[in-house]
Amino acid sequence: MNKTLLLLVVGAIILPLQASAQIDHDPDGLGIYFDHGGEIVMISTPIEFVQVHAYLLLSRPTDSTGVSGWECSIRTEGVVLQPQWSLSAGMNFATVPQFNVMIGEGAAALPHGDTLLLAAFSCIVMTPADEVYFFIDPYENSRFTPPAAGYSAGSSFNNGIRCQISGVPCASINGTGVVNNDDVSWGSVKAMFN
The verdict on domain 2-191 having CATH code 1.10.8 is no
**Distance between CA atoms of 99 and 96, rounded to whole angstroms?**
6
| Polymer length of the chain | 194
pTM score, two decimals?
0.78
What is the average pLDDT score of the chain? 81
pLDDT per residue over 145-178, tens digit each? Answer: 888 899 998 877 667 888 867 678 999 999 987 7
What percent of the chain clears pLDDT 90, i.e. is strictly above it? 55
pLDDT per residue over 42-84, tens digit each? Answer: 999 999 999 999 999 999 998 888 899 999 999 999 999 999 9
Model pLDDT, residue 33: 96
Kindly tell me the sign of the dihedral angle through the C-alpha atoms of 121, 123, 127, 133. negative
**Distance between CA atoms of 168 and 182, rounded to whole angstroms?**
13
- Per-residue H/E/C for 100-121: EEECCCHHHCECCCCEEEEEEE
Model pLDDT, residue 8: 37
* Spans of all domains in the chain: 2-191
pLDDT per residue over 99-137, tens digit each? Answer: 999 999 888 899 998 999 999 999 999 999 999 999 999
